[in-house]
Chain A
Amino acid sequence: MSNLGIEQFPDYQVPGVSHADFSPYESNGGSIVAIAGEDFVVIAADTRLSSGYNIHTRKQSKLFPLSNQTVLASTGCWCDTLSLTGLMKLRMQNYEHTHLKTMTTDAVAQMLSIIMYNRRFFPYYVSNILAGIDKDGKGVVFSYDPIGHCERATYRAGGTAGALLQPVLDNQIGYKNMNLHGEDAPEVTKERAVAVASDTFISAAERDIYTGDSVLINIITKDGIETQELQLRQD
């Protein structure tokens, strides 16, 4: 009966008892873009961490390498990001010690979904995108909603400028404007993916106050993760 574990609190006003406001969420901003290709995946996030109109820091990486084939990018409420990524690392370490192998990207993706759904009634306020190389050696992107709905995609934007950047990707990577069928669309190359990701961030820095300073770009291939950095406007 107590599987929700709620104590016996009356939901009506009790004289003499004052209710403290409890608003445990804050948006610390930041944007993510991920683009997957045939045998690689590019994931980029800006490095600005802010709160309201204040900038806390200009060099906070929002990319969390979970293994040499998987990177998680996470923005939103930074404290939730920290506890979520910390927990992910802990569980992955557990897995390594139990099974003597590293979790595959697909397994990490499902695990993240379940971890997030555990907090269904007090969600992690985060926008997650997971990128990596799957078990067939293909690049994949997984995107999440705050309570752990996971969807596999080939390209995705998230974070505060997510709604701003997704249409750019639809146009440049998905060729949604060109009336092409799936097989006719040119395959995205690593160079083009990096270039498009950089361009989208330059656009986002122009129009989103929470995105700027610099972009960290991780390029994941079967050989590991390569990191690049691009300076953005600092205003």
Chain B
Amino acid sequence: MSLEELCGLKAFLKTTNWSNSMRQISEHDFQEITSNFNNPYRLMAPVPGTPDLTNASLKIDHGTTALGFVYQGGIVLCADSRSSSGINVTTQTMDKIVPVSSQIVGTLAGGSADCTYWYRVLARESRLHELRYKRPMSVDAAAKMICHVSEMHRGTGLNMGMLLAGYSPKGPSLVYVDSDGVNISGKRFSVGSGASNALGILDPMYRFDLTDEEAFDLALQSLCQATLCDASTGGMVVLHHVGPAAHRIVRKVDCMELHKKYSLDARNFS
């Protein structure tokens, strides 16, 4: 006992008095039910004869519209912040544009938990890559990793749609990856339920030689239209700019203010 006291362990050995039921859990079971702490790719298997989850009215949070495009000044990413489960809005303030590393930024659409979990794993993976190889992970490599995750979980109901943006010495790259294992790079993408609405504005007005201000305005307008026309898109509109050196949040604005700015009246009188 004296050794424990010397180390100051006493407080910790005495404070805990857990229920008996959990005391019987074996080391093996414990490892099994927390398998993804040791290896994030090892999720617990679906049980054989997979239970019908539809009866349980399990509602999972879903994210919505995100868009991104490449122009002469870099890459613009823009997303809303509404997350809903079924008809209920769970939050209006979700961050849907997440920095993966100092070089890569990503947007998320689809199941919020799926996206945030796998972004966390991706962030870990890209940090390990930096430590191992002393150079940042490329956007293509990041996209490939997400692709492998999708491929590993084919048909299990994983639901993600991601845009990954970043700079490499070769220039800007923007990649779309999703839970079907699709992996395509391009200049202009929109993901989520409001994607078609956003594209309607983005496509005709997009040019590669947009100035910074024009590009930001175009992204905001497109997303503003998506918040108007799509019920599950709304809340704040967040605009990120990814440049050769760094990425930054350009604007974070309530979509109601954008509605005022881009409404029919405002356009007529200005």
**Direct contact between A and B in the complex (CB less than 8 angstroms)?**
yes
Hey, which bits of chain A sit against chain B, CB under 8 A?
3-7, 9, 19-25, 27, 77, 82, 86-87, 89-91, 93, 96-97, 100, 113-123, 125, 143, 145-151, 153, 163
Is residue B194 contacting chain A, with contact meaning CB distance below 8 A? no
Is residue B131 contacting chain A, with contact meaning CB distance below 8 A? no
Some 24 contacts from A to B, beta carbons below 8 A apart, are A4-B45, A21-B52, A22-B51, A23-B56, A25-B53, A86-B18, A96-B16, A100-B7, A100-B9, A113-B117, A114-B37, A115-B33, A118-B43, A120-B158, A121-B45, A121-B50, A145-B60, A145-B61, A145-B90, A145-B113, A146-B59, A147-B114, A149-B111, A149-B116
CB nearest to B56 among chain A residues? A25
Is residue B2 contacting chain A, with contact meaning CB distance below 8 A? no
B7-34: CB near A (< 8 Å → 1, else 0) gives 1110011011011011001000010011
- Which chain B residues lie closer than 8 Å to A146 at the CB level? 58-60
Is residue B94 contacting chain A, with contact meaning CB distance below 8 A? yes
B265 shortest CB reach to chain A, Å? 20
Q: Are A147 and B60 in contact (CB under 8 A)?
A: yes
A162 shortest CB reach to chain B, Å? 8
Given contacts A96-B16, A147-B60, contact A117 B52 (CB under 8 A): no
User: Measured between alpha carbons, how far is A125 from B44 in the docked complex, in Å?
Assistant: 15
Q: Are B34 and A145 in contact (CB under 8 A)?
A: no
Q: Are A86 and B46 in contact (CB under 8 A)?
A: no
Q: Are A23 and B48 in contact (CB under 8 A)?
A: no
Contact with B51, one of A25, A97, A120 (Cβ below 8 angstroms): A25
Given contacts A90-B30, A148-B117, contact A22 B52 (CB under 8 A): yes
| Contact-residue bracket for chain B | 35 or more
Is residue B211 contacting chain A, with contact meaning CB distance below 8 A? no
Is residue B268 contacting chain A, with contact meaning CB distance below 8 A? no
A136 shortest CB reach to chain B, Å? 19
A67 shortest CB reach to chain B, Å? 9
- Which chain B residues lie closer than 8 Å to A25 at the CB level? 51, 53, 55-56, 58
Q: Are B49 and A9 in contact (CB under 8 A)?
A: yes
Contact with A97, one of B12, B55, B85 (Cβ below 8 angstroms): B12
Q: For residues 38 through 73 of chain B, which have their beta carbon under 8 Å from a beta carbon of chain A?
A: 41-53, 55-61
- Which chain A residues lie closer than 8 Å to B56 at the CB level? 23, 25, 27, 77, 125
Given contacts A145-B60, A147-B113, contact A93 B18 (CB under 8 A): yes
User: Measured between alpha carbons, how far is A116 from B111 in the docked complex, in Å?
Assistant: 14
- Which chain A residues lie closer than 8 Å to B168 at the CB level? none
User: Measured between alpha carbons, how far is A121 from B158 in the docked complex, in Å?
Assistant: 9
- Which chain B residues lie closer than 8 Å to A114 at the CB level? 36-37, 117
- Which chain B residues lie closer than 8 Å to A93 at the CB level? 16, 18
With A86-B25, A118-B36, A121-B50 given, can you name 8 additional A-B contacts, CB distance below 8 Å? Answer: A22-B51, A87-B34, A96-B15, A114-B36, A114-B37, A118-B35, A147-B114, A151-B94
